[in-house]
Amino acid sequence: MARLVDTHAHLNAPDFAGDLEKVLARARQAGVAAMLDVGTGIESSRRSISLSLKYPQIKAAVGFHPHDAAGVTSSDFEQLALLAENPRVVAIGETGLDFYRLLSPPPVQEQIFRQHLQLAVKLDKPVIIHTREALPQTFRIIKEEPLSARRGVMHCFNGDRRWAQAFLRKGFYLSLAGPVTYPRSTLQELVKTIPLDRLLLETDCPYLAPQPFRGKRNEPAYIAETYRQVARIRGLKVEALAAIIWDNACRLFGMP
């Protein structure tokens, strides 16, 4: 069986509070051997670290989602910076810009985003970037802020080929989620152009379940469908693609 990694999950979310053990058991049965659990605020980041301490197959990331940027105080960010020093934390984020819902004012989102990037440099950890309806602004900030050699990943990427190439040139990985399995998704053409050594796959669970489970709560086990789809598009066996994605995840996140 292929050894799969889910590079972006929210197992710390309330959606999994009632049956996490069963979710993890199904993940193991599907071949998911590692998961990166991503925080979106102080409490979820703490839960992410707790999960990583309890389950060796889980690593943690800590950050503030751009939706919540307006509520982040200087004290909050100091707490986050302390959490980020934990050795189980392998990335900073998710962070970034979301101008689709505008739940926080754009200038505040930009300020908090920059603070995440600076923290990633300070700790020499990669950054996990969320961007929605804000690709030009996200790219501008990335160009303006110094980044560590570890760079980061454009999580759940849904831009076109031009933007994909722009972020690749800046040293970023591109991560695809369940939407690449949707019948009319333009991501199926995009995935043909992404260098295999810069590609990651994720669930973003509990969101964005792949096509066979669309409309249901997503979970790590379902990432097998995403691997199968991407392997088919790239003309690879799932085992070969899984080995590549595993190496990419280890290289970016500093995992053994």
Residue 86 has pLDDT above 90, yes or no: yes
Confidence of residue 149 (pLDDT cuts 50, 70, 90): confident
For residue 37, give the nearest of 209, 175, 205 by alpha carbon: 205
The answer to whether the CB of 137 falls within 8 A of the CB of 107 is no
The residue to which tokens 């050594």 are assigned: 197
**pLDDT score for 158:** 94
Confidence of residue 16 (pLDDT cuts 50, 70, 90): very high
Q: What's the structural domain count of the chain?
A: 1
Edge-to-edge strands, sheet with 32-38 = 4-9, 32-38, 58-62, 89-98, 127-132, 152-154, 173-176, 199-201
**pLDDT score for 53:** 98
Residue 1 has pLDDT above 80, yes or no: no
Taking residues 76-97, what's their average pLDDT? 98
pLDDT averaged over the chain?
Answer: 97
Q: What percent of the chain has pLDDT over 70?
A: 100
Model confidence pLDDT, tens digit, residues 41-61: 999 999 999 999 999 999 999
Confidence of residue 147 (pLDDT cuts 50, 70, 90): confident
- Which pair of tokens denotes residue 168? 């690749």
Model confidence pLDDT, tens digit, residues 93-104: 999 999 999 999
CATH code, domain carrying 127: 3.20.20.140
Taking residues 124-135, what's their average pLDDT? 97
Q: How many CB atoms lie within 10 A of CB 250?
A: 14
Domain that holds residue 17: 4-253
**pLDDT score for 146:** 86
Q: Enter the pTM of the model.
A: 0.97
Euclidean distance between CA atoms 67 and 81, whole angstroms = 19
Higher pLDDT, 148 or 220: 220
